[in-house]
Chain A
Amino acid sequence: MTTTRALSTSRFKLRWNSWDIITIIAFIFIILFMVYPLFNIFLNSFFYEGSFNFSHYKDFFTLKYYYSSLTNSLLVCGLATIFAICIGFPMAYILTRFDLPFKKIIHILIILTLLSPPFIGAYSWILILGNNGFLTNFLHSIGLNTPSIYGLHGMIWVFTVQFYPHIYLYVSGALKTMDSSLEEASESLGSNKLRKLRTVTLPLIFPTLSTGALMVFMASFADFGTPMLLGQGIKLLPILAYEQFINEMGSNPAMASTLSMILLSVSTGILFLQRYLVTRKSYSMSSMRPPKVIKLKPLQKFFAMLFVWLVLAVSLIPQITVITTSFLKTNGPVFTNQFSLDSYREVLFRVPQAIINTFSYSALAIVFMVVAGLLLSYIVVRRSSKISALLDTLIMIPYVIPGTVLGISFIVAFNKPPIEITGTWIILVIAYSIRKLPYTMRSSTAILYQIDRSVEEASISLGVPPMKTFFKTTAILMLPGVLSGAILSWVTTINELSSTIVLYTGATSTITVAIYSQVFTSSYGTAAALASILSLSTIASLIIVTIISGKKGIPI
């Protein structure tokens, strides 16, 4: 009897070896490229002139130069979140509950807004409302003085316009799955429309609304490009961290580490705060009857349409501006009215490497993410254990790491042996992979839950070994889901600026970095051309993901 037991345990190990090896490799990778760098800057933040103390933290909280960056960040992101709710919630309510034309197109256009990088938004708002902007000049000519887009209010504006789709997407998702009988019950108990909204609808969608709000806050809190372009002396936290790190007049990596730790603690803190608020308030709703779509009276319909199209127009203006101006002839920083492809010609001659870099690095990162997404989601879902749960948590951590922080931590960790990859393309590809893997993981696990486990068992019973079975059955069935997640990862990767700006060197510059430096040197034409290339790639990718997910019915 004992021999049987011994034999069976040894066989058990042999049989699952390959998955165990993958798990181990995943852990090594995560520890090396995420835990170790973060731990490194954590230690670093306590070292001042070679000794261990809290002086950086003390400086941060006592010197206005430092702490004002935090208050600025909180102010900008807090207000942007509130305004995003004010726009996103009505948009979601109107588009899910009322009968309006072109809903599908509106929906796609809103997602498109979300996926284009915020700093391109910031840049095009400079073109419109900057010191020399179209609208500024126009209003000037008719004698109106507009406030400049530069400053905190400009950032709040850009973030609001850029990130309200998060609120829209989450809230409309929740509104669609809310059973109509709940609201009907409220009405039958004598509630009027407003009371119904306040006492039934709002509490029920609060958890999702707060998740959307969290996304807005996190995205704007971590954003680097917008505050950099619109700051003009007013600094947000990521900018300060970056400048402390890169400063030409003696950089201060330790202070940069301290600032990174504060960035990280705030975003983690906000995440936990949201989780805490939601835990006791989340309801599972199964929609037996989706809410009915209400027909509006003509006048009501007109105002609803007006609101929706106005918001949409404002959020699409940056894209349109960028694409239009990219075809204009420039005279220094000034656009003329003539059509020209000069900007594109210029781009192709001056920064071809950046274009090649963006697409090749992103492609490499995507290949990595697809493979990792397939294998790791399998480990998390199908071979669930305490270890795989830990793996899942670790993989999701990059959600709360601002790109600037990851960039700084990478340089601090990898600018010396044993791993010296600072300045190479490898460090960029790894940074992208770590940062964007959560998107691919989320869609991979979602689809894996829908695939019946016995499909694999059928294959094994027919004589195909487990690992080969995985690649012949489950992996193929997962592919659409993994790819739709990977395309989202791809879109955010080609638009990545905040960690690239820290990690790039001349030879490894990317499109986003090029746009950023073109805007800084006021070469608005080439910046527009580059931004258009990015925008069009984003649109194309979005179309592909819609086709893939539409075909297989995978929600993104």
Chain B
Amino acid sequence: MTKVRIENVSKYFGEVKGVDNADLTIEDGEFFTLLGPSGCGKTTLLRTLAGFYQQEEGNVYFGDQCINDLPTYKRNIGMVFQSYSIFPHLTVFENVAYGLKARKVNKIQIKERVLEALRMVELEDYQDRQPALLSGGQQQRIALARAVVIHPGILLMDEPLSNLDAKLRLKMRADIRDLQKKLNITMIYVTHDQEEALAVSDRIAVLKKGRIQQIGKPHEIYLSPVNQFVANFIGSTNFLTAMISEDVNKGSIVTVANKEYPIVLKKPYSGPAVYSVRPEQIKIKRTSSDGPFVKGVIVEATFLGEKVEYNVQLNHTTEIIQVNEHAVHYDLLMNKGEHVELYLNPEEAVLFSKDGEEVLNIHDNYSSTVYEPV
């Protein structure tokens, strides 16, 4: 249970910055996720915290202690790896006891603590097995027990679920989340799976090319992305080309899909922009009428169980918009070829500058703090 302070940390690989000036604080007992596509620097940052990499710049504190010069084996961390990294020559019990032996804990206590840890991951019946004979999910549980049994200050996980099959992944992530809350341990979790990140995290940092783009609670990141990259990476969204203009009478206006909507800007702006609206934020209906509605034709309708996904070709542009609708009454669902009209929901849409780097409007979603490196 340790607060982690990462202060202007940069890690270079030759000339390339693996991590570029990361600056953040992870609270005691927080489930903190580093999220991003491969090569974004999330694993590099995690391994820097673990001490497998040494940062060239900046400081890392566990609690009040600066651990820059503390080798990995003295950092009191628990770590879970993508490839399980179980010791194949030791039994399940010996695997979990490994860190305790290194800490010279006495035998009776080792036995007690190992069994308790194995109980937590529901593997107490497997203590004498050879791990090679166990399934991937079971091996990852052993790794989890092995990491938490030493009562680490922080728990680091590097894509722990990506080698498991989809169903097991869902169960394991819930279990990991529960365990973390039960033990009230500070967790730093690396994943490229945005859905997983949203599901388990207290807060998420989204990374791209070594730089942290945004830090926030899952809903903040989802509903109020700070740039086009984050909006695109988290969930799915529609990006429409838009034009912002100033009107003396009406204030700021955005033109998207041949319709004009009034908007509130953070600061004066006019010119091309990107209009981002999520599939479920768009309203879709059959009847046609005038008003703020955009007309189009359904070019594809996909039934996905709990929802239906429509791809709608807009009438006046070449753009295709994805719209989701809850599939409550199957009879009421629409089919391919039907003419529809859409409400593009400018209240909830996020407008980005043309380069995608900046949010222009004030929208009805949660406003989040923009990440500004110090």
Contacts and interface: CB of A to CB of B under 8 A. Distances in A.
Interface of A: 1, 4-5, 7-8, 11-12, 15, 452, 454-455, 457-466, 469, 473, 476-477
B215 interface: no
Nearest to A14: B71
A452 B54 contact: no
Contact of B78 (A457, A460, A461, A466): A461
B57 A1 contact: yes
Most chain A beta carbons < 10 A, residue from B58, B75, B79: B79
A457 B79 contact: yes
A458 B143 CA distance: 9
A469 B71 CA distance: 13
B73 interface: yes
A452 B103 contact: no
A241 B124 CA distance: 69
B68 interface: yes
B96 to A, nearest CB: 10
A25 B69 CA distance: 28
Given A11-B69, A457-B52, A463 B76 contact: yes
Given A8-B55, A12-B54, A454-B81, A461 B87 contact: no
B89 A462 contact: no
Given A454-B83, A476-B89, 16 more contacts: A4-B59, A15-B71, A454-B81, A454-B85, A455-B86, A457-B81, A457-B85, A458-B81, A460-B52, A461-B156, A462-B98, A462-B147, A462-B150, A463-B102, A463-B150, A464-B98
Contacts of A12: 54
B356 to A, nearest CB: 32
A553 to B, nearest CB: 12
Contacts of B81: 454, 457-458
Instruction: Give 9 closest A-B pairs by Cβ, nearest first.
Output: A462-B99, A461-B79, A454-B85, A458-B85, A463-B102, A454-B81, A464-B102, A8-B54, A460-B72
24 contacts: A4-B57, A4-B58, A4-B68, A5-B56, A5-B57, A8-B69, A11-B54, A454-B81, A455-B85, A457-B52, A457-B79, A458-B79, A458-B86, A458-B87, A459-B87, A459-B98, A460-B52, A462-B98, A462-B99, A462-B147, A463-B74, A464-B102, A465-B71, A469-B73
B73 A466 contact: yes
B173 to A, nearest CB: 20
A4 B89 CA distance: 39
A428 B79 CA distance: 48
Contacts of B164: none
B50 interface: yes
Contacts of B235: none
B363 interface: no
Nearest to B146: A462
B268 interface: no
B337 interface: no
B99 A463 contact: yes
Interface in B59-97: 59, 68-69, 71-79, 81-83, 85-89
A459 B55 CA distance: 21
Interface of B: 50, 52, 54-59, 68-69, 71-79, 81-83, 85-89, 98-99, 102-103, 143, 146-147, 150, 156
Contacts of B146: 458, 462
A11 B146 CA distance: 28
Contacts of A466: 71, 73
Contacts of A1: 57
Contacts of B86: 455, 458
Contacts of A5: 56-57
Nearest to B99: A462
B59 A461 contact: no
Contacts of B102: 462-464
Contacts of B85: 452, 454-455, 457-458
A453 to B, nearest CB: 9
Contacts of B98: 459, 462, 464
A459 to B, nearest CB: 7
A461 B69 contact: no
B286 to A, nearest CB: 52
A44 B75 CA distance: 58
Contacts of A464: 73, 98-99, 102
A133 B147 CA distance: 72
A257 B31 CA distance: 71
A14 to B, nearest CB: 9
Nearest to A461: B79
A550 B69 CA distance: 45
A459 B150 CA distance: 12
A181 B65 CA distance: 62
Nearest to A463: B102
A452 B72 contact: no
A470 to B, nearest CB: 12
Contacts of B57: 1, 4-5
B143 A463 contact: no
Contact of B73 (A4, A8, A460, A477): A460
Given A455-B85, A462-B146, A477-B88, A7 B78 contact: no
Nearest to A1: B57
Nearest to A10: B69
B75 to A, nearest CB: 8
Contact of B87 (A4, A455, A460): A455
A372 B160 CA distance: 35
A79 B73 CA distance: 60
A463 B89 contact: no
Contacts of B89: 473, 476-477
Contacts of B72: 457, 460-461
Nearest to B96: A462
A554 to B, nearest CB: 14
A8 B103 CA distance: 26
A5 B12 CA distance: 12
Contact of A461 (B50, B68, B88): B50
B93 to A, nearest CB: 15
Nearest to A11: B69
B46 to A, nearest CB: 11
B69 A7 contact: yes
Contacts of A11: 54, 69, 71
Contacts of A458: 79, 81, 85-87, 143, 146
Nearest to B8: A1
B87 A8 contact: no
A452 B83 contact: yes
A454 B46 CA distance: 14
Nearest to A8: B54
Contacts of B99: 462-464
Contacts of A457: 50, 52, 72, 79, 81, 85
A7 B59 CA distance: 12
Contacts of A476: 89
Contacts of A469: 73
A552 B79 CA distance: 28
Contacts of A452: 83, 85
A4 B59 CA distance: 8
Nearest to A15: B71
Contacts of A4: 55-59, 68
Contacts of B83: 452, 454
A341 to B, nearest CB: 45
A469 B85 CA distance: 13
Nearest to A452: B83
A267 B24 CA distance: 62
A109 to B, nearest CB: 33
B333 to A, nearest CB: 44
Contacts of A463: 73-74, 76, 99, 102-103, 150
A465 B88 contact: no
A460 B87 CA distance: 12
B22 to A, nearest CB: 14
